[in-house]
Amino acid sequence: MSEIIPEVEWYKALEIAKLSKRIIILGQIDTGKSTFAKYLIQNIIKEQSVCFIDSDIGQSSIGLPTTIALKVYSKNYINKNPSNGIVIDFDKLFFVGFTTPSISPELFLSEFAKASSFAQKLNMKTVVDTTGFVLGEMAKKIKLEKISILKPDLVIAFERKGELSHILNEIKIETIILTPSKNIVSRSPIKRAEYRMNKFKKYLTNVESYAVSRKLIHGTPIVASDGTIVGLFTEEECIALGVIESLDRENVFFSSPPINIKAIKKIKIGRVSLKGLINETV
């Protein structure tokens, strides 16, 4: 992400955000949500710790596509990520397995509830970034459900011309409506797909091959083949993602960053395939 150019109206929003406990940022794609989230965090950590939930499962800023990522920034945290380039920097992953909530709103929301409950237990100021899926009835339902799960006391809405009103009209929470920055660089669907691939490529730069019993596959019946992304779990916690290499009657063979394979008690099959990606990487 290039240098952030704050808009004048952001300063007041930041002051209000400093006094809020849980903040959710809403807006269509390319409205500057993630940039604003970064701006908030960079400034808030000068005074207090912040828990960031990156719930954009498609264009995630700190996590990986197909996951909700959570990171705790302690006060005075020093960001060691370069300002340009792909960032992968999280404390916890909540595996969803797809890149747009409309695939399974229930699954998406249940993982969001886990992330939200983790943040709540920390009792820390929380900032939530969201997907740009806001138009239509389903998007509205998902956003309202997220709001009822998180219980934010501040909504920051990036709006061009009333496109969020069907959501905002339904809530009674302090809301700041901001105009999307003039410095936004829009990204084409191809650029978005490239971004996802680059995230996975970076994550999968150094991988090992593993095999686990098919009995560890969570849920019934699944369509999985080589290239399918999987979530790797110790009981309830997703500790890494992997990519299926092959399957036989008994085992699933996959590659992932180095893990303690004995700790893996469950794998969840995603609905995204990265076929060819590993070959491209090496």
Ligand X SMILES: Nc1ncnc2c1ncn2[C@@H]1O[C@H](COP(=O)(O)OP(=O)(O)OP(=O)(O)O)[C@@H](O)[C@H]1O
Taking the least distance from each CB to ligand X, the nearer of 73 and 133 is: 133
Q: Binding to ligand X by residue 4, rule CB under 6 A?
A: yes
Residue 250 buriedness (CB in 10 A; 0-12 / 13-18 / 19+): exposed
Residue range at the interface with ligand X (CB under 6 A); choices 24-32, 94-102, 160-168, 252-260 = 24-32
Q: Binding to ligand X by residue 14, rule CB under 6 A?
A: no
129, 98, 103, 93: which is closest to 196 by C-alpha?
98
- Report the distance separating Cα 68 and Cα 111, nearest Å: 7
Q: Binding to ligand X by residue 101, rule CB under 6 A?
A: no
Residue range at the interface with ligand X (CB under 6 A); choices 27-35, 165-173, 203-211, 248-256 = 27-35
- The residue ranges that bind Mg ion (CB under 5 A) are 33-34, 56, 59
20, 55, 59, 228: residue in contact with ligand X (rule CB under 6 A) = 59
What DSSP assignment string belongs to 22-58? Answer: EEEEEESTTSSHHHHHHHHHHHHTTTS-EEEEE--SS
Backbone phi, then psi, for 171, in 5-degree steps?
A: -115, 150
Number of residues that bind ligand X (CB under 6 A): 19
**C-beta nearest to Mg ion: residue:** 34
Residue range at the interface with ligand X (CB under 6 A); choices 2-10, 88-96, 206-214, 256-264 = 2-10
CA distance between the termini of the chain: 25
Q: Binding to ligand X by residue 116, rule CB under 6 A?
A: no
3-state secondary structure 174-209: CEEEECCCCCCCCCCHHHHHHHHHHHHHHHCCCCEE
Q: Binding to ligand X by residue 27, rule CB under 6 A?
A: yes
Beta-carbon contacts of residue 148 (< 8 Å; ≥ 6 apart) = none
Q: Binding to ligand X by residue 270, rule CB under 6 A?
A: no
Beta-carbon contacts of residue 257 (< 8 Å; ≥ 6 apart) = 203, 204, 206, 207, 208, 240
> Minimal distance in Å, beta carbon 113 to ligand X?
21
Residue range at the interface with ligand X (CB under 6 A); choices 1-9, 163-171, 202-210, 257-265 = 1-9
Q: Binding to ligand X by residue 30, rule CB under 6 A?
A: yes
55, 65, 39: which is closest to 181 by C-alpha?
39
Taking the least distance from each CB to ligand X, the nearer of 112 and 210 is: 112
Q: Binding to ligand X by residue 198, rule CB under 6 A?
A: no
Other Cβ atoms within 10 Å of 29 Cβ, number: 16
> Minimal distance in Å, beta carbon 187 to ligand X?
6
- Report the distance separating Cα 119 and Cα 81, nearest Å: 23
Q: Binding to ligand X by residue 199, rule CB under 6 A?
A: no
> Minimal distance in Å, beta carbon 254 to ligand X?
28
Q: Which residues bind ligand X (CB under 6 A)?
A: 1-2, 4-5, 27, 29-35, 56, 59, 132, 181, 183-185
